[in-house]
Structure 1
Amino acid sequence: MRHAQELMGKFKEVNLEQISRAENADTDALANLGSQREATLLGVIPLKIQKQPSIFQAEAMEVDVQKEESLVTPILDYITKGTLPADKDEARRIKYKAARYVIYNENLYKRGFNRPLLRCVTGNECDYIMREVDEGICGNHAEGTSLANKILRQGYYWPIL
């Protein structure tokens, strides 16, 4: 779908027309063939197996992305590597906070008293989650605390939520 939209962007004008099923019997029979396994339809439509994609996919180059620093990075470093800052007070705070976090399937989760594990997210993930919860298919443009509670109910967490 995305590739089709990219190709449509290269034309000056694109017209899409909807064809009714009555005018397009072959497509209707093919749709029925996919959803039903009627023996009468199997002989009506010639089926061809396509071994290669008809559209070339652009090769993607792998990029090494540096992990961004966040408020939970010191906690993650303490849990995974056991490293603490030189400042004793800051080290004590990190140890205290780290007791509320756990690593599961290589992701950092925050434990809650009366809720399931909350996945810790940072950066672009936070923006995407907020937009999806607020504006997405079930979004109702909630404000402040209501939006934060919806995000928590979905199982996500970040320190400044």
Structure 2
Amino acid sequence: MAQIATRVQLPEDCVQRIIQVGKKSLPSVLTRGIEIDANSTIMSEEDWRLPLINYLQYPALPSEKRIRMMALNYVMWNEELVRKSKDELLLRCLGNEEHMKVMGEVHEGICGAHQGGRKMCWLMRRYGYFWPTMMNDCIEYSKGCEACQRHGPIEQAPSVPMTLVVKP
């Protein structure tokens, strides 16, 4: 692990998949089930990152004002789009397929103990990931988890409708 932190090239047999997003962020070692390779990522036409990447790579081309304002919070780092957070971390921006893998790993995998949506969002930011609809996606994912619904606490609802009690 110390050699990986210093970015020394390791032999092929002991390379672990490490996703680093910047100098100040926490590297996340997610070896089970999640393999995100920046070079093999194919961006579709509806990918939210595409207009930002195009603007950051070619700022002279005409673009919308909304994209120019959003681009102030983003940087291209090693040919990847990263977001500058408020606490000076660089968060790797994920596409649609990638963020589903990360949510699954954080919720059910090596990182997870089936946390709720807000905790999942906090963990993913701590691991160095970002996408615009992160909070809503995490909440919906945790609500839709079958194991969480099956083994979660049962809500106690009264069997009859509640009636109003008037104080004399």
So what's the TM-score if we normalise by structure 2? Answer: 0.51
**Mapped pair 1:96 → 2:72:** no
Structure 1: 5+ residue runs without aligned partners? 1-63, 86-90
> Aligned-pair RMSD on alpha carbons?
1.8
Identity %: 33
Identify the match of residue 53 of structure 2 among 72, 76, 81: 76
**CA spacing shift, 1:127–1:115, aligned 2, 3 Å:** same
Taking the aligned partners of 1:156 and 1:119, their CA distance within structure 2 comes to 5
List aligned pairs for 1:141-156, cutoff 5 A.
141-156=114-129
Aligned pairs, how many? 93
Which 4+ residue blocks in structure 1 deviate beyond 4 angstroms? none
Structure 2: 5+ residue runs without aligned partners? 1-39, 135-168
Residues 31-55 of structure 1 deviation map (CA, whole Å, 9 limit, x = unaligned): xxxxxxxxxxxxxxxxxxxxxxxxx
The amino acid that maps onto 2:111 is: C
**Mapped pair 1:67 → 2:43:** yes
> What's the offset of the Cα at 1:72?
2.3
**Mapped pair 1:105 → 2:81:** no
Question: What does residue 61 of structure 1 align with?
Answer: none
Taking the aligned partners of 2:62 and 2:122, their CA distance within structure 1 comes to 32
Taking the aligned partners of 1:121 and 1:128, their CA distance within structure 2 comes to 10
**CA spacing shift, 1:130–1:112, aligned 2, 3 Å:** same
8 Å Cα contact 1:118/1:152 also seen in 2? yes
> What's the offset of the Cα at 1:145?
1.3
8 Å Cα contact 1:111/1:118 also seen in 2? yes
8 Å Cα contact 1:119/1:156 also seen in 2? yes
Task: Select the structure of larger CA radius of gyration.
Answer: 1
So what's the TM-score if we normalise by structure 1? Answer: 0.53
The amino acid that maps onto 1:122 is: G
Point out which structure has higher relative CO (alpha carbons under 8 A, 6+ apart): 2
